[in-house]
Structure 1
Amino acid sequence: MKRILLFLLCVATGLSACKKPAGDNQEKKEPDPVTPNTPFKTLNYLYSISGNKTLSGMHNREPNSTPARFTEQMKSVTGKYPALWSGDFLFQQDNISNRQIMISEALNQWKKGAVINIMWHACNPAKSQPCEWDNGQGVMSALSDKEWNDLLTEGTAINTKWKSMMDEVSGYLKFLKDQGVEVLWRPLHEMNQGKFWWGGRPSANGTRKLWQYTHNYMKNVKGLSNLIWVWDMQDFPTLSSDLTNYNPGKEYWDVAALDFYDGSGFTLAKYQAMLRIAEGKPIAIGECDKLPTAQQLLEQPKWTFFMGWSELVFQQNSSEQLSALHSASRVITLDKMPGW
């Protein structure tokens, strides 16, 4: 009798009464991708693929005289170009002198349909530029508390130097703006990495304030409306709290990226932590040496791109692994890009 009544109820309600209630042992699905109305074609594209596809990416570290070196190496190994090209303003004299070569390659890659990502390993503004990597005076040097306060105080020598350094790189970014090139802009990366002069200061007056200052200067003073701001962290054990302590505020970034170097790989905990802090904004694998597998990207589908770190990728992944990943159905390489 109960079956007959259920059947009659189903007919009367258009079968809607026969569906399982939400949460009743149903398989949970990722929400459908959305394309918000942002001013950026690149950012809209990242939103549109989130949950379904992931862009392959490759960083090209020094020298700036050959700014597609590792992108070309990936093509020679896999037969496919990555969908994301990345360069760096860098800090040594020869690389500073060749910044225009790197920028011209960014334009070239954009015309090919690639996503453009640019970093800046900046010299310490309390010391000298050009500089080296790690000699106590370079990228991996320190600021005293007084120097840090001076950096964020208008009119001081260190503040003036930082603005002049931003002026330099802004000229190149304006060149790209004038050419219609959108840039995933990734300065002050790995903000929770205390070895960099800009990082490791979690207070309200710390690294996040420098990010806010830099953002406001380059956007409002320099007028760089072509920048998509990528807020980047490193996967330390303190990641969960770091994502809160170093967050400059959602109005100051467009994409949240995480660098994977701690040896534990692409854990679910890291993925979920990034989803929580992003609150619907795109997330990305900002840097890694060991690339994710296609299966890992299937299990963590919201990563909108991964970016391999130059020579380390070829040291940590076999040719077979690289080829399999770049041929995976959910991985987008340059030949699958829609064009700008």
Structure 2
Amino acid sequence: MRRIRHLLFSASAATALAAALLAWPASDNAQAFPPTPKENVLNHLRSISGNHIISGQHNKEPASAPGQYTQQVKDVTGQYPGLWGGDLMFTPADVANRQRVVDQAKTEWANGSLVSLTWHVCPPTGGSGCAFEGGVKSRITDAQFTQTVTDGTALNAAWKQRLDEAVPYLRQLKDAGIPVLFRPLHEMNESWNWWGNRPGPGGSARLFQITRDHLAGTRGLDNLIWVWNVQDNPAGGWSNYYPGDRYADVVSLDVWYKNHPSSADYQQLRSIAGTKPMALAETGKMPTAALLESQPRWAWFMMWSEHLRGNNSNAEIQAAYFHPRVLNQGEFAPSSAASTGPITGLAGKCVDARASGTANGTVVQLYGCAPGVAQTWSAAGDGTVRNPHSGRCLDIAGGATANGTAVQLWDCNGSAAQQWRHDTSTGALRNPASGRCLDVTGNTSADGTRLQIWDCTGGANQRWALPG
């Protein structure tokens, strides 16, 4: 079974002080995610595109309970999501309590989860707080919308003032070095909200552009990662709402017309995204193994609050969180560069490319540690372990998954046989596709002992310290 041991150690993993897809040891007073520029998060999203997806859970109102649904995930799975979702909200009581949301975002980041914020924002024709019905869910006139997106008008000034109400909270996250996956004006191809259903260059996309220009440009919030979003409306034409590559960092889809995005939905969004990361920003059903296999470009999924348990069985939730492609809290870290050095294991000896070989099929073994190219390894957020001297990756021979399959050097190809995850609580280096761990054959520390994969046991011959 996948992640049995991860579940046993979930309490320590949830508070791990250094956790990563390939995580290096850290000092006891380090945060799981240290302050980092937003580009590191984007780099990580790009690196996992096509091979992994980050689990996410949204937390809707009230602002006084900004972690209630992520806790439900923990109750069901024993793990926390890799992405926490919050909202700047709209009712007067929740607007007045935004600090609780920001404090939760700081906590989630410190615990090793990415942070996402959306905003069910009230229209500029009214006050800072409003009801959902008749407020967020309302329609302003075409003339009022045109004024909102036209510089120098009263409603344009009112919109920028509305944005400024969020600046003190977003700036706290900037000052803490926390990038935010920011998803304003979501589902802009829908008519339920006051900002949506206005295609073309002067419509909803223009409001998105003004919003980014004001917050990122005028107010200097360079920690915001701008997530553009549409709903899976069968009317299509989503590109008519796209603000342009300069304004969208991530392209995302909310899935409400059906349980999962169709192949046509996926292809339509891919045509807009190009090389940008893609995400399932809202969903009511957990992704299935079939979906993750057929639509591998999604970088994260975000389960919508009450739909977690209201629309999914415990078995469905667990199946998603335990899937080999899915990254939860403690299983990845945004990083701009790989850490390079030796990998040490049993009896303090090192992972070694036999005779400093560089050819495909070179034996990977345990050997006494010594400086040199044969024992230099580089590990990064894409899940691979590379030998820089040869340019080849740590690979399971033939892509096999059976106990005793040898580990070797092979051309880096992004296959499942070259994916590894380091569990910081146990030291295990696990291959998700097989569910097995990097293992010293026969539990012997003699020089030249070949490395293999084997059922994860927690033994000393499966404990590895990665470079850092």
- Smaller-chain TM-score bracket: 0.7 to 0.9
Q: What code does the residue aligned with 2:312 have? A: N
- Asked whether the 8 Å contact 1:218–1:224 carries over to 2, the reply is yes
Query: By how many angstroms is 1:339 displaced?
Result: 6.4
Q: Determine which structure has the larger helix proportion and give its number.
A: 1
What does residue range 24-43 of structure 1 map to in structure 2 within 5 Å? 40-43=39-42
Distance 2:118 2:273 in 1: 21
> Which structure 2 residue ranges, 5 or more long, are not aligned?
1-36, 336-468
Q: What code does the residue aligned with 2:108 have? A: Q
Cα deviation 1:179-219 (Å, max 9, x = unaligned): 00000010000010111000000022110111111111111
Q: Secondary structure at the match of 2:165?
A: helix
Distance 2:241 2:262 in 1: 21
Query: By how many angstroms is 1:325 displaced?
Result: 1.0
Q: In structure 1, what is the equivalent of residue 63 of structure 2? A: 64
Cα deviation 1:201-258 (Å, max 9, x = unaligned): 002211011111111111110001001000000001122x1x2210111110110000
Query: By how many angstroms is 1:39 displaced?
Result: 5.3
Q: Secondary structure at the match of 1:67?
A: coil
Q: In structure 2, what is the equivalent of residue 209 of structure 1? A: 206
Q: Determine which structure has the larger strand proportion and give its number.
A: 2
Q: In structure 1, what is the equivalent of residue 143 of structure 2? A: 146
Q: In structure 1, what is the equivalent of residue 290 of structure 2? A: 295
Cα deviation 1:238-283 (Å, max 9, x = unaligned): 22x1x22101111101100000000252211111111111111110
Distance 2:200 2:46 in 1: 31
- Asked whether the 8 Å contact 2:228–2:249 carries over to 1, the reply is yes
Distance 2:334 2:104 in 1: 16
- Asked whether the 8 Å contact 1:255–1:283 carries over to 2, the reply is yes
Q: What code does the residue aligned with 1:178 have? A: D
Distance 2:56 2:307 in 1: 13
Q: In structure 2, what is the equivalent of residue 245 of structure 1? A: 240
- Asked whether the 8 Å contact 1:114–1:339 carries over to 2, the reply is no
Q: Secondary structure at the match of 2:156?
A: helix
> Which structure 1 residue ranges, 5 or more long, are not aligned?
1-37
What does residue range 178-217 of structure 1 map to in structure 2 within 5 Å? 178-217=175-214
Distance 1:252 1:74 in 2: 33
Change (3 A) 1:39 1:319: closer
Large movers: runs of 4+ above 4 Å:
none
Q: Secondary structure at the match of 1:132?
A: coil
Q: What code does the residue aligned with 1:42 have? A: V
Q: What code does the residue aligned with 2:105 have? A: A
Larger Rg: 2
Aligned-residue Cα RMSD (Å) equals: 1.3
**Match for 1:227 among 224, 227, 231?**
224
Distance 1:313 1:222 in 2: 36
Cα deviation 1:88-146 (Å, max 9, x = unaligned): 00010111111011001101111112111001100011123310001x3x001111111
Distance 1:80 1:187 in 2: 28
**Match for 2:330 among 316, 327, 335?**
335
Distance 1:260 1:252 in 2: 23
Larger relative contact order (Cα-Cα within 8 Å, sequence gap ≥ 6): 1
Q: In structure 2, what is the equivalent of residue 268 of structure 1? A: 263
Query: By how many angstroms is 1:54 displaced?
Result: 0.4
Aligned length: 299
Q: What code does the residue aligned with 2:89 have? A: L
Change (3 A) 1:44 1:125: same
Q: In structure 2, what is the equivalent of residue 84 of structure 1? A: 83
Distance 1:253 1:109 in 2: 24
Distance 2:105 2:267 in 1: 32
Q: In structure 1, what is the equivalent of residue 115 of structure 2? A: 116
Q: Secondary structure at the match of 1:155?
A: coil
Q: What code does the residue aligned with 1:48 have? A: S
Between the two proteins, what is the percent identity of the paired residues? 42
TM-score, structure 2 as length reference? 0.62
Cα deviation 1:22-59 (Å, max 9, x = unaligned): xxxxxxxxxxxxxxxx9511111100101110000000
Q: In structure 2, what is the equivalent of residue 28 of structure 1? A: none
- Asked whether the 8 Å contact 1:176–1:182 carries over to 2, the reply is yes
Distance 1:294 1:54 in 2: 12
- Asked whether the 8 Å contact 1:294–1:331 carries over to 2, the reply is no
Distance 2:334 2:152 in 1: 44
- Asked whether the 8 Å contact 1:67–1:101 carries over to 2, the reply is yes
TM-score, structure 1 as length reference? 0.85
Change (3 A) 1:267 1:167: same
Query: By how many angstroms is 1:156 displaced?
Result: 2.6
Change (3 A) 1:91 1:156: same
- Asked whether the 8 Å contact 1:182–1:228 carries over to 2, the reply is yes
**Deviates further, 124-133 or 67-76:** 124-133
